[in-house]
Structure formats: structure tokens, C-alpha cells
Homo-oligomer: A and B are copies of this chain.
Amino acid sequence: MKIGELAKRSGCRVVTIRYYEREGLLPAPARSAGNYRLYGEAHAERLAFIRHCRVLDMTQDEIRALLDYHDHPERPCQDVDDLIDAHLAHVADRIAQLQSLERSLVDLRTRCQGQRFASECGILKELARPLEGATGQVSGEEGGHVPGAHPRL
């Protein structure tokens, strides 16, 4: 099948499939006489695996590790469990962070009493206050790799 059909079947874009090939997640398929990529069922299955992982918000590195186990069925699978556990911990951490964020924003939101002018707006006043623990980076990397509040998948 050509790349457009694979894209339709997998629900991922043509350019993304080519991107996965460049990144080494999908093997390069055979080519037609006119240099078109020709995929088989194995490619479709591997792409489904990748997409399933991406829906679960895994990084390419995590996916690469899982594909490696997928490709080596004789290996022990303890590390697969550990990888999922670690990813789960990252997701849980990110949820906790966003919930804390949400509380801050709700609090911030109460500060504007419908003033007419920005100069009296409690939201802007609150944002202008320095943070308590000013030293230290914005959020540190401890706690994992689950992105913040603005995804663009």
C-alpha cells in the first residue's frame, strides 16, 4: 500500500510517517518503479504500536525502548514493566503539578472584581508580585518529562 493509504488506516499524517522513518522508528519500506514507498502489514502493525504509545504520551525514546523489546521476544520483559511504571509516575507528577497550577489560577481569577481599568485589576497586581521562592529554576527537572499545559500533538 502507498503512504496515503497507510496514513488513512493509521490515523497519522503522511509527513509524520516519513518523519518516523527518518527517526528510525519505522523501517524504510520497498519502493515502486516510480520511487513511491510501498508498505505491507508489518509496517501497518508497527505504526499502530508507535501510535498507541504516542497516544499514551510516551516519548520517542520510550517508544524506541519498547520497540526494542517487541523486536526481541526472547528477552525478559521486566524492563518493560519498569518503563511503564516510570512513565506512569511522570504522568501522575504532571497531574499533581497541573492541579496545583489550577488552584493558583482559580485564586488569581477571583482577584478581578470587574474593574473598569487595567490599572486596578487584581490579576495584574498579583502577577506583578514577585514569587516567594524566587531563587531556583522555573520548575526544575525533578519529577519527569511530562509536558506542561500547552501540547501541540
Contact = CB atoms under 8 A, between A and B. Distances in A.
Interface of A: 8-13, 45, 48-49, 51-57, 59, 66, 69-70, 72-78, 80-81, 84-85, 87-88, 90-92, 94-95, 98-99, 101-102, 104-106, 108-109, 112, 114-121, 123-124, 127-131, 133-141, 144-153
Given A54-B138, A84-B109, 12 more contacts: A11-B135, A49-B128, A55-B138, A56-B104, A59-B150, A80-B112, A81-B114, A81-B123, A84-B112, A87-B105, A94-B98, A148-B151
Nearest to A149: B146
B13 A137 contact: yes
Contacts of A133: 11
A56 B139 CA distance: 10
A92 to B, nearest CB: 6
Of A48, A54, A130, A148, the most chain B CB neighbours within 10 A belong to: A148
A136 B76 CA distance: 35
Given A102-B95, A105-B84, A128 B76 contact: no
Given A102-B95, A138-B12, A70 B124 contact: yes
Contacts of A88: 102, 105-106, 109
